[in-house]
Structure 1
Amino acid sequence: MPVLCRPAVAVPEHTITRRETLDLARRLHAGHEQLPLVLRLIENTGVAKRHLVQPIEATLAHPGFEARNALYEREAKARVPAVVEEALAHAGLEARDVDLIVYVSCTGFMMPSLTAWMINTLGFRSDTRQLPIAQLGCAAGGAAVNRAHDFCTAYPGANALIVACEFCSLCYQPTDLTVGNLLSNGLFGDAVAAAVVRGSGGVGIRLERNGSHLVPDSEDWIAYKVRETGFHFVLDKRVPGTMEQLAPALVDLAALHGQDAGRQDFYLVHAGGPRILDDLGSQLGVPAEAFRHSRATLTEYGNIASGVVLDALRRLFEEGGPAAGATGLLAGFGPGITAEISLGRWTGVPAHSGVPDQTGASTHTGASTHTGVPAGVAS
């Protein structure tokens, strides 16, 4: 069965704290009639610090959509290779062992996708399949896991590489003064993450079932408006209550698998904000501690979009991992409103043991973070 292995995650060297964000909002938007609301919303995000690909002075400038997108391409090519190399090492594989690359990003655009550059530059075979996903936003991390699971189930023994590259700061829009956009200025951060799904062997989550759910008639709740200056983030006030409609989808998928969504041993959930996690915990009847890895990502990095679920998994590995056979749920939430959900079990040697797995690669490494089957069918 396919196994989701230990991820690698890298965040840029430039940082901004919550205090600095609030000070900037007060200075830049002093006359905004809803500034007190914006400040309160940013305070309530739970974000203490975020990482940016540029210093804050450069981030606040807007040289135009073309220049922004060119910077996205340069930064992706500069930062993705090291993360990919580390993720492959965690899985005990080399680039030539990969049969599919799933690349997810919603903060820049390239055609051909970065996957073509990776194949040409990083040692992947020329017959490696490419699956770029650009329009699922924060849900794309979960979708990437699910599509890799599907592929490795359809082609037993195949391996898939997932890469999430999100430079959310390149979507900053200085003239967009809507409350949702101003909130996003204090919520999103930049990061690159990668992980391998092995078709056989490996240590991590043995993926057993996946599914998707779309909340009807919610297309405009989370969206991009594509304008001359680039992507403008739209966030509807109904989004914080989304879990009331999405939690039943998690419950139903787990029930199909003979499990209780509220009785999993670990949870790796996209953290759009603390209320999302609070409401999901309430809906499922699980304690706040169950989402500690997602909360830590939100606090230390902000909302890193499609990278959140992979960073939460990285933190689970660094904690030592659960006992073999422990059951878990992974879920990404994003535009649509879309949920991408996975169920699996922990497999292999405990992550902290340092004992080689069946690939011959050691499962004990240092900290991974640097600065600078069809849905509904159990495999």
Structure 2
Amino acid sequence: MTTDDDHALTPRGTRPRTSPRSDAARAPVGPVLCTPAVEVPEHVITLDETLELAARIHPGHEALPLALRLIKNTGVRTRHLVQPIEVTLDHPGLEERNKTYVREAKRRIPAAVDTALANARLIAREIDAIVLVSCTGFTMPSLTAWMINELGFRTDTRQIPIAQMGCAGGGSAINRAHDFFLAHPGANVLIVACEFCSLCYQPTDLTIGNLLSNGLFGDAVASAVVRGRGGRGMRLEANGSHLVPGTEEWISYAVKPTGFHFLLDRRVPHTMQDLAPALVEIGGAHGWDVTDLDFYVIHAGGPRILDDLSRHLGVKPAMFERSRDTLTQYGNIASAVVLDALRRTAESGLVPEGARGLLAGFGPGITAEITLGTWTNG
């Protein structure tokens, strides 16, 4: 672990504390979250197609006009699915759904991993731990075991599967990778987020929250490397978590014979008024003013979340543009959202060396996983 004098986080515009050590000794040594890779399936459904399907499937639903309005207001224009829509709409049972999850995960994870490794300029055998996060399917052993067996990782690679963080899982994966580095300085950690939300479609569940989710969530696999030394991307400086008390049932799964039934409380969009102060507090504990940073990577659960967080933090809406792009083009891809928004941030080429930023994932609990970092171009 480092001391405060080694890596003091100072408010922007002030000079960090210095010591008589050489410039080399004072060089940044924190791990770098390198540019993520994101793979989306080939089957696409547009907003117009989603609205037409909802109207055709539920013509007599008393809340159909409300559901259609909510879906339009998500801002989602296209989503990608692991199966054609006509197959997605057919529910063959939980067993077959999970078989599809495993088959598609094994089919699509390797490409994302290969690109993530290339972005970090590493090979599989240089990875010391794998954090795999998913909330849309289940395997035991974890898919990390399959990855080690089939994708060239060492047999002593640590396995860190995360299965119950929902949309906050991407932020949690990043923070656990950071924690692993702090325990094992210089280690390289691979993150994989595998989310096939379409496999949770429940044709008999006619609640408003479920109807909304049918037009909001999409499928994707994302991967990124937290490199212990060197690399280009977000240098991880600090992380924290916050749970809003009394909200554990606001976002949840009901596990039934047909699988996972998504439950969404109508109060969820208002949680930013509780989470924004937590972000400020966590940043302040490390000497950062999170209301005045250079870039933001925020979980795009929906437009209301981004709008409210912008207002409560006093941050211009344009600062969340990359997250909105993810929502518009891919929908809510659960734990993969923050990795895709970070990919868009990196590929924009607009973030200068040393820029300060915040990454935040939100999910069941209600939980926030927060990461502070500075940009490095390697």
Fold shared by both chains (TM-score > 0.5): yes
Is the partner of 2:291 in helix, strand or coil?
A: helix
2:116 maps to amino acid: A
Query: What corresponds to 1:285 in structure 2?
Result: 314
Q: How does 1:215-230 map to 2 (within 5 A)?
A: 215-230=244-259
Query: What corresponds to 2:3 in structure 1?
Result: none
2:145 maps to amino acid: A
Tell me, yes or no, if structure 1 residue 180 matches structure 2 residue 180: no
Long gaps (5+) in structure 1: 350-379
Pairing partner for 1:313 from 329, 336, 342: 342
1:7 maps to amino acid: P
Larger Rg: 2
Deviations 1:211-249 (A, max 9, x none): 000000101100000000000000000000010000111
Q: How does 1:54-73 map to 2 (within 5 A)?
A: 54-73=83-102
Query: What corresponds to 2:46 in structure 1?
Result: 17
2:100 maps to amino acid: L
Pairing partner for 1:143 from 163, 167, 172: 172
Distance 1:28 1:61 in 2: 12
Deviation at 1:348, TM superposition (A): 2.7
Is the partner of 1:177 in helix, strand or coil?
A: coil
Pairing partner for 1:27 from 17, 38, 56: 56
Q: How does 1:207-246 map to 2 (within 5 A)?
A: 207-246=236-275
Matched-pair contact (CA < 8 Å) for 1:225–1:232: yes
Deviations 1:250-287 (A, max 9, x none): 00011111111110100000000001000000000011
Distance 1:263 1:141 in 2: 23
Query: What corresponds to 1:112 in structure 2?
Result: 141
Matched-pair contact (CA < 8 Å) for 1:153–1:199: no
Query: What corresponds to 1:368 in structure 2?
Result: none
Identity of aligned residues (%): 71
Query: What corresponds to 2:365 in structure 1?
Result: 336
2:307 maps to amino acid: D
Matched-pair contact (CA < 8 Å) for 1:270–1:294: yes
Is the partner of 2:75 in helix, strand or coil?
A: coil
Is the partner of 1:309 in helix, strand or coil?
A: helix
Query: What corresponds to 2:231 in structure 1?
Result: 202
2:340 maps to amino acid: D
Query: What corresponds to 1:375 in structure 2?
Result: none
Query: What corresponds to 1:85 in structure 2?
Result: 114
Deviation at 1:158, TM superposition (A): 0.5
Question: TM-score under structure 2 normalisation?
Answer: 0.92
Distance 1:348 1:27 in 2: 50
Pairing partner for 2:281 from 252, 261, 274: 252
Distance 1:338 1:94 in 2: 33
2:111 maps to amino acid: A
Query: What corresponds to 1:346 in structure 2?
Result: 375
Distance 1:104 1:321 in 2: 29
Tell me, yes or no, if structure 1 residue 76 matches structure 2 residue 105: yes
Is the partner of 1:261 in helix, strand or coil?
A: coil
1:80 maps to amino acid: I
Question: TM-score under structure 1 normalisation?
Answer: 0.92
Deviation at 1:321, TM superposition (A): 4.2
2:349 maps to amino acid: G
Distance 1:66 1:323 in 2: 48
Matched-pair contact (CA < 8 Å) for 1:7–1:193: yes
Runs of 4+ in 1 over 6 A off after TM superposition: none
- RMSD over aligned CA atoms reads 0.6
Deviation at 1:183, TM superposition (A): 0.4
Query: What corresponds to 2:188 in structure 1?
Result: 159
Deviation at 1:342, TM superposition (A): 0.2
Distance 1:318 1:146 in 2: 22
Deviations 1:3-38 (A, max 9, x none): 100100000000000110000110111111111110
1:314 maps to amino acid: R
Distance 1:154 1:179 in 2: 45
2:258 maps to amino acid: T
Distance 2:79 2:250 in 1: 24
Distance 1:51 1:194 in 2: 17
Distance 2:241 2:229 in 1: 24
Query: What corresponds to 1:46 in structure 2?
Result: 75
Deviations 1:322-378 (A, max 9, x none): 1111000000000000000000100134xxxxxxxxxxxxxxxxxxxxxxxxxxxxx
Deviations 1:71-122 (A, max 9, x none): 0000000000011011000001000000110000000000000000000000
1:287 maps to amino acid: K
Is the partner of 2:358 in helix, strand or coil?
A: strand
